[in-house]
A and B are shown apart, each in its own frame.
Chain A
Amino acid sequence: AQKVTQAQTEISVVEKEDVTLDCVYETRDTTYYLFWYKQPPSGELVFLIRRNSFDEQNEISGRYSWNFQKSTSSFNFTITASQVVDSAVYFCALSGSPGLKRNTPLVFGKGTRLSVIA
């Protein structure tokens, strides 16, 4: 069975601080995908990143960076110089490898609520 654990329920930081959101996953699949989504107070899930299991390169996008470590089954997300607009619930998710012309559902963690205080 697949499982995603986000141990941090809530985090509060002061604006401009860096913050890392942890994600640990479990799967027996050899090929899988990892995701991060942002859910602002409006409620809509916003896609941030997708990573496949064969690509362990870290990725940076502006103030966002992701660290994928297969050896520890972790896919952590860092926000540098946090801003008030970063306040949201962040979800890590896992899916199996899509088959030919078929997709697979996402398994989500419980989310981490990030509050950035001005």
Chain B
Amino acid sequence: GAGVSQSPRYKVAKRGQDVALRCDPISGHVSLFWYQQALGQGPEFLTYFQNEAQLDKSGLPSDRFFAERPEGSVSTLKIQRTQQEDSAVYLCASSSTGGDYEQYFGPGTRLTVT
């Protein structure tokens, strides 16, 4: 079946612009995670949804970051007034809760803020 998809794959934004990154999880997966991966680093947790409920947003670095999953499927990560330090790859992962807790990752969106 189809895996996790993310769009766009690449995004260049000028400092101060707002961006929206989309994640389509595997069909039926109730859990959805967003991670940020800076160059040369491991992914770092941003936020977590269980269906449409955002259960953990402790990793969001500032109030410029906002995520939603209104219908419990597709999720959008929005970054307002982008800064250069926001440049990173943003990874989305989904998983089920039926015993197989493996997180399946999408290809990521590479954001470059100029």
Binding site for B on A (CB under 8 A): 4, 33, 37, 42-45, 47, 50, 91, 93, 95, 98, 101-103, 105-111
Contact = CB atoms under 8 A, between A and B. Distances in A.
Contact of A108 (B30, B43, B50, B101): B43
Interface residues of B, number: 29
For chain B, what secondary structure do more than half of its interface residues adopt (helix, strand, loop), or is it mixed?
A: strand
Given A103-B31, A107-B45, A42 B97 contact: no
Contacts, number: 65
Contacts of A107: 45
A33 B41 CA distance: 21
B95 A43 contact: no
Contact of B55 (A44, A50, A91, A102): A102
Contacts of B108: 43-44
B59 interface: yes
B75 to A, nearest CB: 14
